[in-house]
């Protein structure tokens, strides 16, 4: 009961008004479905009696009333009409049932998609530190698999639970009206079995869910590493180790799935056993308390009919409870859904005409709030300048670049653009002016053109501009030698092109989007000296334009065309080397 209340409270928090209304509609539609099932089934018995029992028409008042009402004069034609009516009723009922199933799945999938999109937005808006501190496989698992489970196994389970409890209540009341003693006897016989089973397995099933949630992203991570770290795996000859780790995870998941499957099978088996136990009890009860055999047969008949409908309901209740318990972990892992993704963009847009300035800033990572990487740090970069940043490993170069990119909210101080705090601006308008070339340029498994015009629809490509940008990034010769020119495919993450070409596609991308400020993060450190020279040449030609360029480099040779070089040491400017 505790878990049901927890799940209801959670859903109450995350569902908006429209979702709640839809959930109620789905519950109502499912109830109609079950009731129509029940009613149509109840119609079968009189029709069978009509066909098999002599004088049933004369004995049964309701059937006789229908016979007279529709003006039948022959029993045969009445039976034919009844059979045809039954067929039509079942046809309509099943069509309605299909329509309801479609209605239900559509609304549940809408709920799934809304949650998946909301989680995506929430995670994305939490910023770079959050993304870096959380395993991406876990986030990916939460977004789609988590949302699917929340819709299908939590929300739908709760709706099923409500409906089936109502149905069982209705059936129990109707049997109780006929014979209250038998209902009490059956309740006493059946309920303990289910209660014991539920109590014994509740925590185990919920633990299975938690393990599944832990192990599935781990398996994905290992599989991902096998393909993305292919070269390292081959060279270090660690494929057997990698395979063993994957085998272990697969085995753990196999155990979880096996147990989960067996637990789900149990209710049907318990029901079957209970059914036999119940019939035996009725027979024994009949021997002692019922005088006529006819009465006993009727009682068994009623019981069968009731069992035919209640047992699947009990089964569904048990499955719903188990699903709920198995997915209880979602109330922890998806708790972010409680916060609505509030993302308010400021209206004022950035105009960059004079300078970027860090004024007395301090920055510490959220997990080490007292360990300042920068403390009371000042820096000014004027528009049009080309600035190099060097420093030993760990001196804070990348952190500084991420601050200048506006990725890290400052602990203290201000980041000013043209003397205005960046926090007052619409951040997207700032990113519209920024180009960022990382050491590992992110490339998609598509053409050169798609990677330059990254994120743009193919129909919107400005092909001349793409070619011009490739030229500025010193990539003209490369794309001209390709059979399909700028439409040549470069493979997943650019595996079909060289490191230098990848970097230059990154530069061309920044130029395509009219960047005014270009950031290079160790863009040449992984390249040989000839390729580094080519990139340096590309940067040199760009530095002659009005672009503001900030370059992090390990080798000072990459920075020969900069206006000045800042050397960082433990979050402080050690010295500034003027070059021009
Ligand atoms: N996400 C993070 N969380 C906590 N600490 C971090 C994080 N990223 C970097 N650091 C720490 O901040 C310090 C500066 O790191 P940073 O990456 O800025 O150095 P760097 O000069 O770019 O080094 P390298 O040249 O090796 O890339 C280091 O001590 C590093 O351990």
- Report in angstroms the alpha-carbon separations of 108 from 149, 381, 524: 11, 52, 49
Determine the distance separating the centroid of ligand 1 and the alpha carbon of 449, expressed in angstroms: 34
> What is the rounded CA–CA span in Å between residue 209 and residue 326?
4
> What is the rounded CA–CA span in Å between residue 314 and residue 189?
14
Q: Do the Cβ atoms of 157 and 241 come closer than 8 Å?
A: no
Ligand 1: nearest atom to the Cα of 399: 18
Residue with the nearest Cα to atom 29 of ligand 1? 394
Quote ipTM for the complex: 0.96
Specify the DSSP class assigned to residue 417.
E
3-state SS track over 348-359: CCCCCCCEEEEE
580 residues of the chain, pLDDT tens digit each: 788 898 999 888 888 888 889 889 988 998 898 888 878 877 887 788 777 777 777 777 888 888 888 888 888 888 888 889 889 999 999 999 999 999 999 999 999 999 999 999 999 888 888 888 888 888 999 999 999 999 999 999 999 898 888 888 888 888 788 778 777 877 887 888 888 988 888 889 999 999 988 899 899 889 988 887 887 778 777 888 889 999 999 999 999 999 999 998 998 898 888 888 888 888 888 888 877 777 778 777 777 777 776 788 888 899 999 999 999 899 888 888 887 656 666 777 878 888 899 999 999 998 888 888 888 889 999 988 889 998 888 888 889 999 999 889 888 899 998 888 888 888 788 888 888 888 778 888 888 899 998 888 888 888 888 988 888 887 777 666 677 788 888 887 777 888 778 888 888 888 888 888 989 887 665 566 666 777 777 777 777 778 899 998 877 777 878 888 888 887 777 767 766 6
Please work out whether the CB of residue 399 comes within 6 Å of at least one atom of ligand 1: yes
Residue 88 is predicted with a pLDDT of 93
Residue 227 is predicted with a pLDDT of 85
Residue 261 is predicted with a pLDDT of 92
Ligand 1: nearest atom to the Cα of 554: 25
Determine the distance separating the centroid of ligand 1 and the alpha carbon of 563, expressed in angstroms: 26
Residue in the block written with tokens 């960046």: 422
Q: Do the Cβ atoms of 426 and 350 come closer than 8 Å?
A: yes
Residue 235 is predicted with a pLDDT of 76
- DSSP for 233-275, written as a single string: HHHTT-HHHHHHHHHHHHHHHHHHHHHHHHHHHHHHHHHHHHH
Angle between helices 529-543 and 499-512 (to 10 degrees): 10
> What is the rounded CA–CA span in Å between residue 504 and residue 539?
10
Please work out whether the CB of residue 503 comes within 6 Å of at least one atom of ligand 1: no
Let me know how long the chain is.
580
| Both tokens assigned to 218 | 């781990």
Residue 208 is predicted with a pLDDT of 92
Residue with the nearest Cα to atom 5 of ligand 1? 365
Q: Do the Cβ atoms of 78 and 72 come closer than 8 Å?
A: yes
Residue in the block written with tokens 């600035």: 387
Q: Which residues contact 207 (CB under 8 A, 6 or more apart)?
A: none
Q: Which helix or strand (DSSP H or E) is residue 278 part of? A: helix 239-289
> What is the rounded CA–CA span in Å between residue 466 and residue 470?
6
Domains and CATH numbers, the chain: 10-338 (1.20.1560.10), 355-578 (3.40.50.300)
Q: Do the Cβ atoms of 538 and 504 come closer than 8 Å?
A: yes
Determine if the pTM surpasses 0.90: no
Determine the distance separating the centroid of ligand 1 and the alpha carbon of 394, expressed in angstroms: 5
Residue with the nearest Cα to atom 27 of ligand 1? 393
Residue 559 is predicted with a pLDDT of 80
Q: What is the distance, to the nearest Å, from the Cα of residue 276 to the centroid of all Cα atoms in its chain? A: 44
> What is the rounded CA–CA span in Å between residue 203 and residue 210?
11
3-state SS track over 395-438: CCHHHHHHHHCCCCCCCEEEEEECCEEHHHCCHHHHHCCEEEEC
């Amino acid at each position: 009961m505790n878990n049901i209340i927890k799940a209801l409270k959670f859903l109450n928090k995350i569902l908006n008004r429209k979702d709640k209304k839809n959930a109620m509609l789905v519950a109502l539609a499912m109830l109609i479905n079950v009731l129509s099932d029940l009613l149509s089934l109840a119609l079968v018995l009189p029709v069978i009696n009509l066909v098999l029992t002599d004088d049933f028409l004369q004995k049964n008042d309701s059937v006789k009333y229908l016979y007279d009402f529709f003006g039948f004069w022959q029993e045969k034609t009445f039976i034919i009409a009844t059979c045809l009516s039954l067929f039509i009723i079942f046809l309509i009922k099943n069509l309605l049932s299909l329509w309801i199933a479609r209605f239900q799945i559509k609304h549940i999938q809408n709920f799934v998609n809304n949650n998946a999109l909301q989680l995506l937005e929430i995670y994305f808006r939490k910023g770079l530190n959050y993304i870096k501190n959380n395993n991406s496989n876990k986030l990916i698992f939460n977004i789609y698999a988590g949302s699917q489970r929340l819709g299908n196994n939590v929300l739908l389970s709760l709706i099923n639970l409500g409906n089936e409890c109502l149905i069982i209540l209705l059936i129990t009341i109707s049997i109780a009206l006929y014979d209250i003693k038998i209902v009490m006897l059956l309740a006493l016989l059946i309920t303990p079995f289910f209660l014991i089973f539920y109590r014994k397995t509740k925590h185990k099933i919920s633990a299975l869910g938690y393990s599944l949630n832990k192990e599935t992203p781990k398996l994905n991570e290992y599989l991902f590493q096998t393909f993305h770290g292919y070269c390292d795996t081959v060279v270090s000859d660690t494929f057997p180790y990698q395979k063993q780790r994957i085998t272990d995870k697969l085995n753990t998941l196999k155990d979880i799935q096996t147990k989960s499957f067996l637990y789900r099978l149990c209710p049907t088996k318990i029901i079957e056993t209970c059914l036999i136990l119940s019939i035996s009890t009725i027979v024994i009860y009949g021997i002692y308390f019922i005088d006529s055999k006819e009465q006993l047969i009727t009682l068994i008949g009623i019981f069968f009919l009731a069992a035919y409908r209640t047992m699947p309901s009990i089964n569904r209740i048990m499955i719903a409870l188990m699903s709920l318990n198995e997915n209880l972990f979602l109330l922890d892992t998806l708790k972010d859904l409680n916060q609505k993704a509030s993302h308010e963009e400021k209206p004022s847009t950035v105009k960059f005409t004079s300078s970027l300035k860090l004024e007395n800033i301090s920055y510490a990572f959220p997990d080490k709030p007292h360990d300042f990487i920068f403390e009371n740090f000042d820096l000014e970069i004027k528009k049009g300048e080309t600035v190099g940043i060097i420093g030993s490993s760990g001196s804070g170069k990348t952190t500084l670049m991420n601050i200048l990119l506006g990725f890290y909210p400052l602990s203290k101080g201000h980041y000013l653009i043209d003397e205005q705090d960046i926090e007052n601006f619409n951040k997207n308008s700032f990113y519209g002016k920024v180009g960022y070339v990382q050491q590992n340029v992110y490339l998609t498994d598509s053409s050169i053109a798609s990677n330059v015009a990254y994120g743009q629809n193919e129909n919107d490509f400005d092909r001349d501009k793409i070619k011009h940008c490739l030229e500025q990034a010193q990539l003209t010769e490369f794309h001209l030698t390709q059979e399909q020119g700028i439409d040549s495919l470069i493979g997943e993450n650019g595996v079909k092109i060289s490191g230098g070409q990848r970097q230059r596609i990154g530069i061309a991308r920044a130029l395509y989007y009219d960047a005014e400020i270009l950031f290079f993060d160790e863009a040449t450190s992984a390249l040989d000296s000839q390729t580094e020279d080519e990139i340096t040449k590309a940067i040199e030609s760009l530095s002659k334009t009005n672009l503001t360029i900030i370059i992090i480099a390990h080798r000072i040779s990459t920075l020969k065309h900069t206006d000045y070089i800042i050397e960082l040491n433990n979050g402080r400017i050690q010295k500034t080397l003027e070059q021009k």
